[in-house]
Amino acid sequence: MGKFLRQSSVLFIVLVLAVPVLAGYRDIASNAIVNQAVVESEIENLCLTCHESAMMDEKRRKIPGEWRASWHFQNDVSCHNCHGGDPQDAALAMSPERGFVGVPKYQRVPAFCGTCHIGILKNYLASGHGRALMENGSGPNCVTCHGAHNIQKATIDIINENRCSQCHSYDRAKEMKHALSRTEQKIEDIEASITRLKAARVFTEEEDKEVFRTLAEFRTLFHVVDVSLVKDKTDDYLKRLGVIDKKLQGIFSELDSRRNFSVFLLLIFVGMAITGYLLSKTYS
Amino acid sequence: MLKAIKNWIEVRIGLDELVRDQLTEYRIPRNINLFYSLGTVAIAAFSIQVLTGIVLLVYYVPHPDHAFKSVQGIMMDVPYGWLFRQVHAVGSNLLVIVVALHMLSVFFMKSYAKPREMTWLVGFAMLLLTLTFCLSGYLLPWSQLSYWATTIVTNMPTAFPYIGDYLTEFQRGSSQVSGATLGRFFALHVMLLPALLVMLLGIHLFLIRRIGISRPPFGPGGQERVEWTQFHHESYPDGMPFYPHYIAKEVFMIMVYLSAMFFIIAFLPTLFSPADANIPADPFKTPAHIKPEWYFLAPYQMLRVIPSKFLGITLQMIAITVLFFWPFLDRKEERNILKRPVLLGGFIGALLVWIGLTIWGNF
């Protein structure tokens, strides 16, 4: 019987070895197994292909790099989301039929960005900045403060003397920045807490959305460039952010109590392990 | 009252005799070592998985639209849900370690030698079942990690000629990992696999008790040879009592296991939970760095290194087959691996390759 089993095992292994020979050359040098899913999901972007090629001048060649370093890139906002066109069709990539708008004129920039940033556009147009641009084309547009492609996550440091004093005195802007700083600081603290919770693998989708909503409204508000309005609304925002913060602190204390409880159980099991060890030594 | 109950049972099933035969007068080799307790630790670990799994089953919803949220609900809303889930998740990883160590120690001490070939075969099948358990359970949280790791692993059979695509689709229930896959894996995880594992475990334990526990090849009496021409129960009349002597060692090892588990839960709660494990599955968004669970990293890396995936898969199948039938292929009488340099070298070499590929697969 043992001999039979041994012979059967050897025969089985030989059969398994024979399979590749019988199968021939299938899939040699193929990456299909491991990376198939990844390859399928990668979308070719012709905008980058052209802009990174030698046919572009240096200024235009820099654009893909600036975009990759931007907040838009981190949030999956690609070239065609702003400029239109079809990044997957070489023939129609820059066709107006596919919605290509290219580079907007200076006065058209707010409408261009406002396609997505709707609330901000509305408040900006109502502000002194917006009115100046629309009336005589001399006011600052979005790019003046935020840049074009290397757009970073907005902070109140965008309001600074160098930038503002190019057109007017810094006094009112300074007052505005001061009014915004409390809310801004609170938002930063909450975002840091959410990052810590994510690192602890807490799902914070609800809190993320709430902070995003508050932040979007807050950003929209101060594009009106009305100091007294910002001052009036600050308490409202702080109250809303306080509710989120309280919830986050509750999760932190829950995580602390979980760790303490786990340590308590750990000590019990360590104690029982020591007892088991001593007992086994006593018996032997 | 208690005495009356005990008497009532005694009259019906002979409890005293059972305790005497199975515990107090059951003797095991004096040179038995702690590695022999890994089997018991594995049973304890499996039992913990079953108990915590039942609790999770109460709240888990096996549907792509609800699975992720139900797991978050267990973690945040169900009282002590986090504890049951953490014990289940960390326990699944530790169970793989314990079962693998058990197999390695059996291999190292050649406990698979005649007449224990069947015990090895059943044990090996249980190792494969444990890995299938982990694979099927990994998908259930329906996170980015579980979705894409399952996509990788279920893609592997496409390397087989003729039947590869069918095998992959059969596993998934569709061409991509989908709700159909979740349903299949869920049914596997909570019904079919537990039933199979309990059945194999019963056979495994029956074989151990029927044949008798093997004597370690090291220490006093380790070199004794038993000629096995007809069946007899291998017993050790002058051996160590199983109860309370060895039971105390087993309790010690189970407590070490639980201590390790709660050390991880307390101080390294995210050890087995990368960031992608906390993002809901999105079939349209492939994460930048996808890789399977750590215990599948070595075969995964092997497939990446070998240019022909089919050859890679075939080599893995051969390795598994050779290991499965190893008791029939190893014909040397010598049980002490330290006196078999070629086998020892191969054992250590294979182990180092496995560890190396696992580390490499991380990058």
Over residues B37-55, the pLDDT tens digits come to 999 999 999 999 999 999 9
Residues in chain B within 8 Å Cβ distance of A42: 286
**B226: number of Cβ within 10 Å:** 11
Segment B186-203 mean pLDDT = 97
Band (A13; pLDDT cuts 50, 70, 90): low
**Which residue would you say has higher pLDDT here, A30 or A214?**
A214
Residues in chain A within 8 Å Cβ distance of B304: 34
Nearest CB to B262: which of A8, A19, A262?
Answer: A262
Q: Where are the beta strands (DSSP E) in chain B?
A: 27-28, 240-241
Band (A180; pLDDT cuts 50, 70, 90): confident
Full residue range of the structural domain in which residue A54 is found? 43-103
Residues B299 and B305: their CA atoms lie apart, in Å, by: 10
Provide the mean pLDDT of chain B: 92
**Which residue would you say has higher pLDDT here, B35 or B159?**
B35
**Whether residue A121 sits in one domain with residue A98:** no
Nearest CB to A30: which of B86, B152, B309?
Answer: B309
**Whether residue A276 sits in one domain with residue A176:** yes
Q: Is the CB of B82 less than 8 angstroms away from the CB of A258?
A: yes
**Whether residue A254 sits in one domain with residue A179:** yes
**Whether residue A176 sits in one domain with residue A83:** no
Specify if B44 maps to a domain.
yes
Residues B141 and B278: their CA atoms lie apart, in Å, by: 9
Specify if A6 maps to a domain.
no
Residues B308 and A30: their CA atoms lie apart, in Å, by: 7
Specify if A99 maps to a domain.
yes
Band (A193; pLDDT cuts 50, 70, 90): very high
Q: Where are the beta strands (DSSP E) in A76-209?
A: none
The count of domains in chain A is 3
**Which residue would you say has higher pLDDT here, B171 or A153?**
B171
- pLDDT at residue B197 in the model: 97
**DSSP 8-state assignment for residue B292:** -
Torsional sign, CA B199, B200, B201, B205? positive
Which of A88-97, A243-252, B126-135 is least confident?
Answer: A88-97
Q: Is the CB of B328 less than 8 angstroms away from the CB of A9?
A: yes
**Which residue would you say has higher pLDDT here, A240 or A20?**
A240
Provide the mean pLDDT of chain A: 83
Specify if A211 maps to a domain.
yes
Residue that is last in its domain, among A54, A76, A103: A103
**Whether residue A279 sits in one domain with residue A182:** yes
Find, in chain A, the residue whose alpha carbon is nearest to that of B246. Answer: A280
**Whether residue A277 sits in one domain with residue A191:** yes
Helix (H, G, I), strand (E, B) or coil at A21: helix
- Judge whether residue B296 has pLDDT over 70: yes
Specify if B107 maps to a domain.
yes
CA of B71 vs chain A CAs: smallest distance (Å): 10
- Judge whether residue A21 has pLDDT over 50: no
Which of A72-81, B89-98, B113-122 is least confident?
Answer: A72-81
Segment A28-42 mean pLDDT = 40
What is the value of pTM for the model shown?
0.81
**B286: number of Cβ within 10 Å:** 19
**Whether residue A130 sits in one domain with residue A78:** no
- pLDDT at residue B318 in the model: 93
Residue that is last in its domain, among A51, A85, A103: A103
For B200-256, what is each residue's pLDDT tens digit?
A: 999 999 999 999 999 888 877 666 667 778 888 888 888 889 988 999 999 999 999
Specify if A191 maps to a domain.
yes
Burial of A135 (0-12, 13-18, 19+ CB in 10 A): exposed
Specify if A284 maps to a domain.
yes
Q: Is the CB of B161 less than 8 angstroms away from the CB of A23?
A: yes
**Whether residue A180 sits in one domain with residue A88:** no
Band (A26; pLDDT cuts 50, 70, 90): very low
Specify if B85 maps to a domain.
yes
Residues B321 and A10: their CA atoms lie apart, in Å, by: 10
**Whether residue A186 sits in one domain with residue A137:** no
Helix (H, G, I), strand (E, B) or coil at A140: coil
Specify if A132 maps to a domain.
yes
**Whether residue A117 sits in one domain with residue A89:** no
Full residue range of the structural domain in which residue B44 is found? 34-212+241-271+288-293
The count of domains in chain B is 1
For A118-127, what is each residue's pLDDT tens digit?
A: 888 988 998 8
Find, in chain B, the residue whose alpha carbon is nearest to that of A39. Answer: B286
Residues in chain B within 8 Å Cβ distance of A194: none
- Judge whether residue A31 has pLDDT over 70: no
Mutate one of A4, A253, A266 to test the B interface: name it (highest B CB count within 10 A): A266
- Judge whether residue A212 has pLDDT over 60: yes
Residues in chain A within 8 Å Cβ distance of B31: none
**Whether residue A61 sits in one domain with residue A85:** yes
Band (B176; pLDDT cuts 50, 70, 90): very high
Segment B144-167 mean pLDDT = 88
CATH number at residue B118: 1.20.810.10
Specify if B298 maps to a domain.
no
Segment A223-237 mean pLDDT = 83
Burial of A259 (0-12, 13-18, 19+ CB in 10 A): middle
